[in-house]
Amino acid sequence: MTKPTQKKDRIFAQTKLPGDFVFDETVACVFEDMINRSVPGYSTIIAMIGVLAEEYYQDRSRIYDLGCSLGGATLAAVDRVDCRDFSAIAIDNSTAMIDRLQIKLKSLPKFASKIECRCEDLCDSEISDASVVVLNFTLQFIPLAERVPLLRKIYAGMKPDGVLIISEKITFPDEKLNQLFIEMYHSFKENMGYSKLEISQKRAALEKVLLPETLDLHRDRLQKIGFQSVDVWFQCFNFASMVAFK
Ligand code: GEK
């Protein structure tokens, strides 16, 4: 069995024709490098998802990783609840991502039988008996009108005291702060080795598909749906991660 290789992200290094960003094979084969160099604090967030899963996973319940990509958050969570009898469901609508995750799981036999991979649109997914639900930089790609129905479905499928972890790129109502955090983020990306061309071409490709919202909007929406104790546990520039309890 050949392990899927991961390459350096050079997708936007040459001038490209305009087009929307898609999670295809080209992205899947550089994804680890791309997300680590593009999301400030990604490795910290992944590690802390493991810590939160260990704390809030309830016996005989399920862990859901919605928009799992290559399973970074799934594996961090299951690694921390490994001594308990768990079941995890990793969902993504990108065939390229799910195929790679399934191949990766073949080399991790102790987890393979306990992690179900589903290639489907998470807006159509069934969610039940969940004590830990992860939306790690996924909600931002869901059309705005589908976010409330999706979050309601997640809430309905969760057990009392279960935790939802939502990480997102965010926007700020104060235009000066918004600009400042975007500029700081672009400096971060330059420090991570991306050129100005790569940064601007990726930004243009994401413009219509990654739709960020404010932290206030996230908090209000989650509370209106019924979640309690909602707040941010991580923030760096225009990236944040929140917890919300049922
Ligand atoms: C991580 N959580 O490494 N249904 C299912 N999957 C979707 C949908 C949808 N409607 N829309 C987007 N996706 C991961 C990182 S990446 C974030 C998540 C990023 C999937 C999409 O295919 C992609 O794999 C993932 O959501 C977003 O912790 O690249 O910024």
CA 28 to ligand 1: nearest atom: 24
Question: How far away, in angstroms, is 187 Cα from ligand 1 center?
Answer: 24
Tell me which residue has its CA closest to atom 30 in ligand 1.
137
Calpha distance 138→73 (Å, rounded): 12
39: three-class secondary structure by DSSP: coil
Calpha distance 41→234 (Å, rounded): 9
Residue with tokens 């019924």: 226
pLDDT digits (tens, 9 = 90+) for 174-224: 999 999 999 999 999 999 998 898 898 888 888 899 999 999 999 999 999
Q: Per the domain annotation, does 117 fall within a domain? A: yes
pLDDT score of 2 more than 80: no
Question: How far away, in angstroms, is 223 Cα from ligand 1 center?
Answer: 24
Question: How far away, in angstroms, is 69 Cα from ligand 1 center?
Answer: 5
Q: Per the domain annotation, does 103 fall within a domain? A: yes
Q: Per the domain annotation, does 138 fall within a domain? A: yes
pTM of the model: 0.96
Calpha distance 116→48 (Å, rounded): 22
CA dihedral (138, 142, 147, 153) positive or negative: negative
Structural domain that includes position 158:
38-171+208-245
Q: Per the domain annotation, does 185 fall within a domain? A: no
**Mutational test site, ligand 1, from 42, 64, 69, 210, max ligand atoms within 8 Å of CB:** 69
Q: Per the domain annotation, does 1 fall within a domain? A: no
Structure tokens at 145: 């009108």
Q: Is 27 in the pocket of ligand 1 (CB under 6 A)?
A: no
Question: How far away, in angstroms, is 25 Cα from ligand 1 center?
Answer: 14
CA dihedral (233, 235, 241, 246) positive or negative: positive
Q: Per the domain annotation, does 222 fall within a domain? A: yes
Tell me which residue has its CA closest to atom 13 in ligand 1.
67
What's the structural domain count of the chain?
Answer: 1
DSSP class per residue in 67-125: T-TTTHHHHHHHHHSTTS--EEEEEES-HHHHHHHHHHHHT-HHHHTTEEEEES-TTS-
Q: Is 31 in the pocket of ligand 1 (CB under 6 A)?
A: no
Question: How far away, in angstroms, is 81 Cα from ligand 1 center?
Answer: 23
Calpha distance 48→185 (Å, rounded): 22
Of 38, 9, 1, nearest to 167 (Cα)? 38
DSSP class per residue in 134-194: EEES-GGGS-HHHHHHHHHHHHHTEEEEEEEEEEEEB--SSHHHHHHHHHHHHHHHHHTT-
pLDDT digits (tens, 9 = 90+) for 150-171: 999 999 999 999 999 999 999 9
Contacts 24+ apart (CB under 8 A), 227-234: 227/155, 227/164, 233/48, 234/41, 234/44, 234/45, 234/48, 234/167
**Amino acid 6: pLDDT:** 80
pLDDT score of 123 more than 70: yes
Contacts 24+ apart (CB under 8 A), 184-191: 184/237, 185/40, 185/237, 185/238, 185/239, 188/40, 188/237, 189/37, 189/38
CA 134 to ligand 1: nearest atom: 2
The count of C-alpha atoms lying within 13 angstroms of the C-alpha of 52, restricted to the half-sphere facing its C-beta, is 26
| Rounded mean pLDDT, 104-112 | 91
| Rounded mean pLDDT, 226-230 | 96
Question: Can you give the CATH number for the domain in which 141 is found?
Answer: 3.40.50.150
Q: Per the domain annotation, does 87 fall within a domain? A: yes
Question: How far away, in angstroms, is 186 Cα from ligand 1 center?
Answer: 22
pLDDT score of 1 more than 80: no
The count of C-alpha atoms lying within 13 angstroms of the C-alpha of 121, restricted to the half-sphere facing its C-beta, is 8
Q: Is 9 in the pocket of ligand 1 (CB under 6 A)?
A: no
CA 27 to ligand 1: nearest atom: 29
Q: Per the domain annotation, does 9 fall within a domain? A: no
